[in-house]
């Protein structure tokens, strides 16, 4: 589902953030990306989501080489990979429903179909009935679930999230992780970067750990 071969990444002329990264994630896995701040967790997720190009190496996502993907092929990746970044990029000048509809506008669905899909996405994250609110009226946990709804409305095969439980209380964090678990159970390959090892131990079954430029890959999560 995801394969990195000898991947290097630096920003501009700076040092390598990631150096010679090799791993494979199979369909249906639930992977925890761990490591201290600045280790390169976000960078790794952005490479998978095609939001940053690698400096060297080959990246295969959903059977497509994406490291040499021309810009016109990017919409494909947008549908294959649902991305939840630390800054959720929610739009506060429009409703919850409009936020979830946004990724569907490029797909060319009929409006009624698009609305039905957006409703289904909101239902899956427990936000039914909140369609007409402005996201600013929602709690942090609800905003995070809205970001998940927007990321999954195109039914991606892969879901990647960067610190989705940061700044949330334990109950809200658990609720977010339950949402990811439910998607994973229906086959969505899931990668989550987090500092919360204790929480991740209850969900992930594999860890990709980045520490001081070194990359470790092991089964399970050590709490
Ligand atoms: P993490 O998610 O583990 O905290 P990041 O991937 O965000 O790590 O960052 C890894 C390193 O890359 C940090 O030193 C960070 O300052 C640097 N970095 C991240 N994004 C950029 C960028 N757009 N331009 C330059 N440096 C960046
Ligand atoms: P920017 O212009 O901020 O560098 P992009 O134009 O690539 O970034 O993407 C804008 C925003 O769209 C991203 O920050 C992200 O929130 C969202 N986005 C990008 N790719 C995806 C994806 N595959 N799935 C869901 N949302 C995405």
Give the residue ranges of DSSP H helices in 125-191: 140-152, 170-185
Please give the pLDDT value at position 77: 81
CATH classification of the domain holding 73: 3.40.50.300
pLDDT digit string, tens, across residues 116-128: 999 999 999 999 9
In angstroms, the CA 137 to CA 152 distance is 22
- Tokens at 2, concatenated: 């995801």
Indicate the number of domains in the chain.
Answer: 1
How does strand 158-162 pair with strand 189-193? Answer: parallel
Element (H, E) at 48: helix 41-48
Which range of 89-93, 101-105, 210-214 scores highest in mean pLDDT? It is: 89-93
Other beta carbons within 10 Å of 136? 9
Q: Which domain holds residue 132?
A: 2-219
Structure confidence at residue 113 (pLDDT): 94
* pLDDT value, residue 106: 75
How many other CB atoms are found less than 10 A from the CB of residue 8? 14
Q: Which two tokens stand for residue 141?
A: 């946990």
Distance CA(16)–CA(12), nearest Å, equals: 10
Q: Give the distance (Å) from ligand 1 centre to CA of residue 128.
A: 36
Pocket of ligand 1 (CB under 6 A): 11, 17, 35, 37-43
Rounded mean pLDDT of the chain?
A: 92
Instruction: State how far the Cα of 162 lies from the Cα of 33, in Å rounded to an integer.
Output: 9
pLDDT for 27: 97
Cβ distance 18 to 56 under 8 Å?
Answer: no
Beta strands in 73-150 (DSSP E): 81-84
Q: In what order do the strands lie in the sheet with 158-162?
A: 81-84, 158-162, 189-193, 30-34, 206-211, 214-219
Which amino acids bring their CB within 6 angstroms of ligand 2? 49, 51, 77-78, 81-83, 85, 89, 151
- The string of pLDDT tens digits covering residues 8-49 is 999 988 889 999 999 999 999 999 999 999 999 999 999 999
Q: Whose CA is nearest to atom 23 of ligand 1?
A: 11
Q: Who has greater pLDDT, 110 or 96?
A: 96
pLDDT at 223: 58
Q: How far apart are CA 9 and CA 45, in angstroms?
A: 12
The answer to which of 23-27, 125-129, 214-218, 219-223 has the lowest mean pLDDT is 219-223
In this predicted complex, what is the ipTM? 0.69
d(CA 64, CA 137): 40
Residues 54 and 2 sit within 8 Å (Cβ to Cβ): no
Nearest to 132 by CA among 94, 104, 103, 101: 94
71 pLDDT band (50/70/90 cuts)? confident
């Amino acid at each position: 589902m995801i394969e990195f071969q000898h991947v290097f990444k630096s920003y501009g002329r700076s040092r390598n953030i990631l150096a010679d990264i090799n791993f494979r994630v199979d369909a249906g896995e639930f992977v925890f990306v761990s490591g201290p701040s600045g280790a390169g967790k976000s960078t790794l997720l952005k490479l998978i989501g095609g939001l940053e190009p690698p400096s060297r190496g080959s990246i295969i996502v959903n059977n497509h080489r994406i490291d040499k993907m021309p810009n016109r092929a990017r919409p494909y990746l947008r549908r294959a990979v649902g991305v939840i970044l630390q800054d959720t990029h929610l739009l506060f000048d429009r409703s919850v429903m409009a936020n979830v509809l946004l990724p569907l506008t490029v797909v060319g669905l009929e409006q009624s179909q698009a609305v039905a899909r957006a409703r289904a996405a909101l239902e899956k994250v427990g936000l039914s009935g909140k369609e007409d609110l402005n996201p600013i009226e929602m709690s942090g946990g609800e905003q995070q679930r809205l970001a998940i709804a927007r990321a999954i409305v195109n039914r991606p095969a892969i879901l990647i999230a960067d610190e989705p439980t940061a700044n949330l209380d334990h109950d809200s964090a658990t609720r977010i992780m339950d949402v990811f678990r439910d998607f994973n159970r229906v086959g969505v390959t899931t990668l989550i970067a987090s500092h919360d090892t204790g929480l991740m131990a209850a969900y992930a079954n594999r860890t990709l750990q980045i520490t001081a430029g070194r990359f470790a890959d092991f089964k399970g999560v050590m709490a």
